[in-house]
Amino acid sequence: MLDKLREQKQEREISARFVVLAVIFWILTVSWIVVIFQLSSDTAEESSEFSHTILDYINELFSTNIQDDSILRMVGHSAEYALLTLLSFLALSSTNKISSKTSYAESPVKLLRSDNEMNIIFTLWFTVLNAIFDEYHQLFVIGRDGSIIDVLIDLIGIVLVLVIIRIAFSIYIRTKGRTEIVYT
């Protein structure tokens, strides 16, 4: 009987559901970072060819005749980092929920007001650092260059997703009749 109670207590301390979710989301996050790295490893010619292939497909699909791929490239930059932001937020959020003993809620020092804010700030730093590293990496690829403008374009996708996450979270807790747990 005592062993059964100890097992039940340990089950409550570590959530198997969130362990599985965290592993899945971290695998997806790292995989997407690898995809971004591979796309950044293409030479300027290969990258341009890829953009024109997508542009040709879009032109065919929508019966248009767009020749300039600059807007497509900007949307692509924002979209790839929007997806990275979503995946990394879900990975960080799941990781924080694995154990109530190791979550941000149990930290003696609270620099942020809530768990959701902590996940958003960490996701912001994680994705912005990836965007900076990606542009730095491109400095060493033939025909490519690193650009702070590209990091700012990536930041558009990052911030857009984080704002959507924050709004969705606020709507979710209100529909459940709860309030956000705020640390003061």
- Domains in the chain: boundaries: 15-102+109-175
What is the pLDDT confidence band of residue 6, given thresholds at 50, 70 and 90?
A: low
Q: What angle, rounded to 10 degrees, do the helices at 115-138 and 70-96 form?
A: 140
pLDDT of amino acid 181: 76
**Rg of the chain in Å (alpha carbons):** 21
Q: How far apart are CA 50 and CA 154, in angstroms?
A: 19
Distance CA 114, CA 48 (A): 43
Provide the β-strand partners of residue 106. Answer: none
Q: List pLDDT tens digits, range 111-127.
A: 667 888 889 999 999 99
| In the predicted structure, residue 32 carries a pLDDT above the cut 70 | yes
Residues 6+ positions from 178 with CB-CB distance below 8 Å: none
Top-confidence residue, 98 or 36: 36
Q: Do residues 104 and 28 make contact, with C-beta atoms less than 8 angstroms apart?
A: no
CB of 97 closer than 8 Å to CB of 51: no
Using CA atoms, how far apart are residues 91 and 21, in angstroms rounded to an integer?
A: 7
- What percentage of the chain has pLDDT greater than the value 90? 62
Interhelix angle 115-138/148-175, nearest 10 degrees: 160
Cβ–Cβ < 8 Å for 94, 22: yes
**pLDDT confidence of 60, banded at 50, 70, 90?**
very high
